[in-house]
Amino acid sequence: MPRTRKNTRSDNLTPNDDLVRFFTGHIAFLRRKLRRTEAFFRENGITGEDLEAKLSTLKTIIEERDHFREQISQLQNTQRIASRMISELNDEKRQFLAQIQELRQENTQLRRDLEYEQMINERTINNLSNQVNTLENRENIFTALLNN
């Protein structure tokens, strides 16, 4: 199916008339833009001499803003790393505290066991000492009987 061409306003114009119409419209557009620009400059108090200084100041401000954004990004990365390290250290601290608690309980149990062993050993020593004393007394009695 052949493609149909749409009719435009310039279909009835000669190429020269079409070009004149285009440039006339474009000149009107540029004049409107010039009026808006001049109004903007008047409203904001910008003069020709002042414009260069304000543009350089604006450029400096934009560069500083970009620099600060980069620094903020770096500081945010540093903060994320520090937060992660703090979390890891807190986890490690909790593990150490749990281990300390276990060791304290184990130490308490070992002290109880040691006290119990000491008590048993003291009793055994006392029993053996009593037996030795009893045997010495018997020996003395037998020696005395034999000597008599």
* Average pLDDT of span 80-87: 97
Q: Which pLDDT score, from 0 to 100, does residue 67 have?
A: 95
Q: Which domain holds residue 29?
A: 16-45
Output the six-digit token pair for 97.
């505290």
**Same domain, residue pair 31 and 73:** no
**Same domain, residue pair 110 and 120:** yes
Between these two residues, 97 and 18, which has the higher pLDDT value? Answer: 97
Identify whether 93 is part of a domain.
Answer: yes
**Same domain, residue pair 54 and 113:** yes
For the cut 70, the answer to whether the pLDDT of residue 55 exceeds it is yes
Nearest one of 129, 147, 126 to 139, comparing CA atoms? 147
What's the pLDDT tens digit per position in 68-82?
A: 999 999 999 999 999
What's the pLDDT tens digit per position in 16-39?
A: 888 888 899 999 999 999 999 889
Q: Which pLDDT score, from 0 to 100, does residue 10 have?
A: 60
Cα(108)–Cα(7) distance, integer angstroms: 102
Q: Which of 8, 30, 45 is the last residue of a domain?
A: 45
